[in-house]
A and B are shown apart, each in its own frame.
Chain A
Amino acid sequence: AQSVTQLDSQVPVFEEAPVELRCNYSSSVSVYLFWYVQYPNQGLQLLLKYLSGSTLVESINGFEAEFNKSQTSFHLRKPSVHISDTAEYFCAVSAGFGNEKLTFGTGTRLTIIP
């Protein structure tokens, strides 16, 4: 079985400052890792994913995450945040190809301070 820990339930950050949202997972098998974003009053949207290959993955809006197998982490980072990044961010893990069940973390609410 897999589990995901997002230690920070809320992260306030000033606009244009960098941010890191932490995600740690546990699994006895190889994993796929995901970050989903939920904007206010909306459903979840995929932000980025790690399936295999390069451990650094990027999204189209400037976020990136690095898969670190030794530390079992998949932290999400952005060098300069904008007001529009205000949302809740969920880290999720699955046990690889064909195993379609996702286990979600409890979420991190990112608030951007003008």
Chain B
Amino acid sequence: DADVTQTPRNRITKTGKRIMLECSQTKGHDRMYWYRQDPGLGLRLIYYSFDVKDINKGEISDGYSVSRQAQAKFSLSLESAIPNQTALYFCATSDLGTSGGNEQFFGPGTRLTVL
């Protein structure tokens, strides 16, 4: 079984709809991240969380919110989706015990299309 899972894997929605992307991990890591990937732009950090009570904005947090429901779960929400949020979204985890917390482990991604 995969250590980092994301649901759904693909989603098509309409402008203005609320969307939630979910991430679960069985690695026991305390740090979790959400990125979006766009062609030619690489990965950009949306939000990150170092433990259940810690939430931090990344470089492109506008239009997104997150919830850390448990150590193993980190959800990303788009309150009112817009077409330029069409992208590939990745969840990742890390732990201080692995390369000082710098090595991140990625889920398979969620492809989101906003029409």
Contact = CB atoms under 8 A, between A and B. Distances in A.
B29 to A, nearest CB: 10
Contacts of A42: 108-109
A102 B102 contact: yes
A106 interface: yes
A108 B103 CA distance: 20
Interface in A1-46: 6, 9, 32, 34, 36, 42-46
A74 to B, nearest CB: 14
B24 interface: no
B104 to A, nearest CB: 6
Contacts of A6: 42
A51 B100 contact: yes
Contact of B102 (A32, A104, A106, A107): A32
A100 B109 contact: no
Contacts of A36: 106
A101 B42 contact: no
A45 B107 CA distance: 9
Q: Which of A9, A42, A107 is the most central at the interface, judged by chain B CB atoms within 10 Å of its CB?
A: A107
22 contacts: A32-B100, A42-B108, A43-B4, A43-B90, A43-B109, A45-B106, A46-B105, A49-B102, A90-B43, A96-B100, A96-B102, A98-B96, A98-B100, A98-B101, A100-B31, A100-B50, A100-B96, A100-B104, A102-B102, A106-B40, A107-B40, A107-B42
